[in-house]
Amino acid sequence: MMLESGQSLKHDSHAPAGEYRLLQNADGKFYAQIGYNPSQLGNPHKRIATFAHELSHYLMSSAKIPPPGGWEIHELTTDLCSVYLGFGIFTAMTAWNFEGANDGWKYERQGYLNEPMLITALAIWETVSGRDPLLALPYLKPHLGKDLRKAVKYLQKRDIMEEIDSIDLSQFVAEDSQVEENSIS
Closest CA to 135 of 117, 115, 149: 149
pLDDT band at 149 (very low <50, low <70, confident <90, very high): very high
Checking if the pLDDT of 4 tops 80, the result is no
Please say whether the beta carbons of 140 and 92 come within 8 A.
Answer: yes
Query: What percentage of the chain exceeds 70 in pLDDT?
Result: 84
9 or 91, higher pLDDT: 91
pLDDT band at 14 (very low <50, low <70, confident <90, very high): low
What does the pLDDT look like over 23-67, one tens digit per residue? Answer: 888 898 888 888 877 877 888 899 999 999 999 988 888 888 888
Checking if the pLDDT of 142 tops 90, the result is yes
162 or 108, higher pLDDT: 162
Instruction: Give me the phi and psi of 52, to 5 degrees please.
Output: -65, -40
Checking if the pLDDT of 78 tops 50, the result is yes
Mean pLDDT of the region 129-136 = 96
In order of 79, 98, 99, 100, 101, the CA distances from 104 in angstroms are 30, 11, 9, 6, 5
Q: How does DSSP assign 33-65, residue by residue?
A: EEEE-GGGGG-HHHHHHHHHHHHHHHHHHT-SS
The pLDDT of residue 116 is: 96
DSSP-based three-state secondary structure for 22 = strand
Please say whether the beta carbons of 107 and 94 come within 8 A.
Answer: no
Mean pLDDT of the region 72-99 = 92
Calculate the average pLDDT of the chain: 82
CA distance 147 to 154: 11
pLDDT band at 10 (very low <50, low <70, confident <90, very high): very low
Checking if the pLDDT of 178 tops 50, the result is no
